[in-house]
Chain A
Amino acid sequence: MRKSFFSTPGGYISLTLPGVLLLGGFFIFPLLVVLVTSFIEGGGDSFVRILQDPLFYRGLWGSLVLSFSASFVSLVCGFLIALRMVKLSSRLRNILMLLISLPLTFSGMVVAYGFILTFGRAGFFTILLSYVGVDPVAFSRFIYSPVGLSFAYCYYLIPRVVFNLLPVLLNFDTRKLLAAESFGAGRIRQMFEILIPEILPAIVSAFCLVFSVAFGAYGTALALTGTQLNILPLLLYSKISDAGSDFPVAAALSVVLLSVGTLVMSAGELFASHRKEAHR
Chain B
Amino acid sequence: MILILYLVYLLLPIALLFLGSFGEKWTNTLLPQGFTLHWYLEVASDPSFQRAFFVSLFVAIATCGIVVLIGLPMAYGMERGTLKRTQFFTRLLQLMPIAAPPMVVAFGYIILFSSDAFPYLGTTWLLVIGHVVSTLPYMVQTLIGDIRHLGLVQLEQAADSLGASFRQRFLHVVVPTLRHSILSGLFTVGALSIGEFQLSNLIAGFLNRTYPIVLLQSFYNASGFACSATVVLLILSIVASLLGTGAPTGTFGERKNVL
Residues of A within 8 A of B (CB): 1-2, 4-7, 9-16, 18-20, 22-23, 26-27, 29-34, 37, 77, 80-81, 84-85, 90, 94-118, 122, 124-125, 127-128, 155, 158, 163, 166-167, 209, 212-213, 215-219, 222-223, 233, 236-237, 240-241, 247, 250-251, 254, 257-258, 261-262, 265-266, 269
Contacts and interface: CB of A to CB of B under 8 A. Distances in A.
Contacts of B234: 106, 110
5 contacts: A4-B167, A22-B133, A99-B11, A106-B195, A265-B99
A261 B10 contact: no
Which residue among B14, B104, B165 has the maximum number of chain A CB atoms within 10 Å of its CB? B104
Nearest to B242: A98
B103 A218 contact: yes
A261 B245 CA distance: 28
Given A15-B73, A34-B107, A109-B197, 4 more contacts: A15-B81, A97-B252, A107-B233, A240-B110
Interface in B127-176: 129-130, 132-133, 136, 140, 160, 163, 165-167, 170
Interface of B: 2-3, 6-7, 9-14, 16-17, 20, 27-31, 69-71, 73-74, 76-78, 80-83, 91, 93, 95-105, 107-112, 129-130, 132-133, 136, 140, 160, 163, 165-167, 170, 188, 191-192, 194-198, 201-202, 212, 215-216, 219, 223, 226-227, 230, 233-234, 237-238, 240-242, 244-246, 252-253, 256-257, 259
Nearest to A104: B241
A124 B31 contact: yes
Contacts of B10: 99-100, 102-103, 155
Contacts of A213: 98
A219 B237 contact: no
Interface centre among B83, B99, B102, B105 (most CB of A within 10 A): B99
Given A12-B81, A33-B112, A219 B197 contact: yes
A219 B17 contact: no
A9 B81 contact: yes
Contacts of B71: 19
B16 A219 contact: no
B196 A107 contact: yes
B240 A105 contact: yes
B13 A27 contact: no
Mostly, the A contact residues are: helix
Nearest to B78: A16
Contacts of B256: 90, 94
B81 A16 contact: yes
Contact of A113 (B194, B197, B219, B242): B219
Contacts of B30: 124, 127-128
A111 B30 CA distance: 19
A108 B99 contact: no
A11 B99 contact: no
Given A6-B166, A22-B133, A99-B7, A124 B16 contact: yes
A117 B74 contact: no
A253 B140 CA distance: 31
Contacts of B13: 111, 114-115, 117-118, 155
B194 A19 contact: no
Nearest to A4: B166
Contacts of B29: 127
A99 to B, nearest CB: 7
A261 B16 contact: no
A236 B107 contact: yes
Contact of A26 (B100, B107, B133, B191): B133
A23 B95 CA distance: 13
Contact of B246 (A16, A98, A118, A125): A98
A13 B77 contact: yes
B255 to A, nearest CB: 9
A16 B27 contact: no
A68 to B, nearest CB: 17
Q: Taking each of A34, A99, A257, which has the highest tally of chain B beta carbons within 10 Å of its own beta carbon?
A: A34
A117 B20 contact: yes
A22 B230 contact: no
Contacts of B129: 22, 26
A125 B70 CA distance: 46
A30 B237 contact: no
B148 to A, nearest CB: 15
A110 B233 contact: yes
Nearest to B73: A15
Nearest to A237: B103
Nearest to B5: A77
Given A110-B234, A122-B27, A254-B104, A96 B3 contact: yes
Contact of A18 (B11, B73, B219): B73
A109 B238 contact: no
B31 A98 contact: no
Closest A-B pairs by Cβ, 5 of them: A30-B108, A216-B101, A12-B81, A114-B13, A107-B195
